[in-house]
């Protein structure tokens, strides 16, 4: 069975990402076609990239990188929960992604964005990053508006149709994660 990590992509105090990720997790856990786990990048306390070698070499020297590597390598696919800051994903998420390379390869990714425009530009930013990491990003995504899915921009109250959006995205991530398993077994 595929294992999918739901990655909280913000470390900001008072962030909405934790609530959103737990909502996605609750929806995902109603399914029986994959296992899901929430991964909070804040728990890994990753400083601004401090490894002396490129991640492409996989020669990590820092305990925080080794722990992050082990966690990310354990998944077959990912759901990135990201706010939109200045038309992009967060610096904290980009930093966490950049710590690793091979751990991401030949896996699938889906996106749950939130912000004034539903996090659409943050997700587009992540799609370019995923392409470089050889991650197959799926078309369906969840767009949560701070204006309609949050009360006073902080109290998460998603519109009823959003649950279907999550399941549509999960359908694709799970299917692609399974399809890419052949590539993950091949050493290039």
Beta bridge partners of 151: 155
**What's domain 2-181's architecture?**
3-Layer(aba) Sandwich (3.40)
- For 3-28, how does the pLDDT look when each residue is reduced to its tens digit (9 = 90+)? 999 999 999 999 999 999 999 999 99
In this predicted structure, what is the pLDDT of residue 186?
A: 76
In this predicted structure, what is the pLDDT of residue 101?
A: 97
Helix crossing, 17-28 with 162-179: angle to 10°? 70
In this predicted structure, what is the pLDDT of residue 188?
A: 52
CB within 8 A of 172, min separation 6: which ones? 108, 110, 138, 139, 140
Q: Tell me which residues of the chain have a pLDDT lower than 70.
A: 187-188
- For 78-103, how does the pLDDT look when each residue is reduced to its tens digit (9 = 90+)? 999 999 999 999 999 999 999 999 99
In this predicted structure, what is the pLDDT of residue 187?
A: 61
Beta bridge partners of 81: 8, 112
What's the whole-number average pLDDT of the chain? 96
């Amino acid at each position: 069975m595929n294992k999918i990590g739901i990655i909280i992509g913000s470390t900001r105090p008072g962030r909405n990402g934790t609530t959103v990720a737990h909502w996605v997790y609750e929806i995902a856990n109603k399914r029986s076609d994959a296992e899901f786990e929430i991964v909070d990048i804040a728990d890994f306390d990753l400083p601004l990239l401090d490894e002396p070698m490129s991640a492409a070499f996989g020669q990590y020297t820092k305990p925080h990188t080794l722990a992050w590597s082990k966690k990310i390598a354990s998944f077959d696919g990912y759901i990135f929960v990201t706010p939109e800051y200045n038309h992009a994903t967060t610096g904290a998420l980009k930093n966490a992604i950049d710590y690793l390379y091979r751990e991401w390869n030949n896996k699938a990714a889906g996106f749950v964005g939130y912000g004034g425009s539903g996090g659409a530009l943050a997700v587009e930013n992540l799609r370019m990053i995923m392409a470089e990491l050889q991650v197959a990003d799926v078309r369906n995504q969840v767009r949560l508006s701070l204006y309609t899915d949050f009360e006073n921009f902080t109290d998460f109250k998603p519109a009823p149709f959003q649950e279907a959006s999550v399941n549509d995205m999960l359908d694709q991530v799970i299917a692609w994660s399974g399809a890419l398993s052949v590539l993950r077994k091949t050493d290039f």
